[in-house]
Amino acid sequence: ASDWSSDVCSSDLGYLTGGNVFRTDSVDRVGYMNYAPFTQVLFKTRYANVTVGARYDVSTAFGSAFNPRLGITRKLGAFNFKLLYASSFRAPAIESIQYGVDGMRLKPEQSNTLEFEASVKVRKDMYLSVNLFDINTTNAIRYFVKTDSVVTGYLDGYRNSEKMIGSQGVELEYKYKSSFGFFNLVYSFYTIQNKGV
């Protein structure tokens, strides 16, 4: 099976009143177009189900970003397994673009996520699962205030982080479902210990 779409198109428009202008472009009105075709294919085999997909984002403000993803699922009796790799992005917003530190052009944030999940159906109404994850983000959009003794240009604004940031951890979940309702109990642990920031 496959799924393809190209009708994901959006536009952002911002304007200021009262004679005010945006800092970067010195105009009172800005607009950006975004276009994002994507495709996804599902392969069903006797060993596992494999999903392969990708999204390609094109923006008049920040350029383009390619975001692939891969998912593998497998059911063995009462057990379910899932392995997922996904790339994603967060585009700069109008305020971030127009208030970059000293007019610096921003890049989109790019994140890569790797997850492994295993679950077991204890009874027909009870499930246990464990999820291990690792997330890395490059070009994180951050707000800065200059604190140097001699400040040149604007005092504050947005810029991309020079270091990779992220987290990793584990989540445990217990689910109980019945005709009168459901109950979820979740424990999450995450850390930045092995990350740059």
pLDDT tens for each residue of 137-155: 999 888 888 777 666 767 7
pLDDT of 151 reads: 64
**pTM for the model:** 0.76
Sign of the torsion formed by the C-alpha atoms of 148, 153, 155 and 156: negative
User: DSSP 3-state assignment of 45?
Assistant: coil
pLDDT of 170 reads: 97
Confidence of residue 41 (pLDDT cuts 50, 70, 90): very high
Question: Among 112, 8, 9, which residue's Cα sits nearest to residue 68?
Answer: 112
Strand 49-59 with 29-35, pairing: antiparallel
The 10 Å Cβ neighbour count of residue 23 is: 15
- List the alpha helices (DSSP H) in 87-177: 94-98
Confidence of residue 1 (pLDDT cuts 50, 70, 90): very low
pLDDT of 9 reads: 78
The 10 Å Cβ neighbour count of residue 55 is: 19
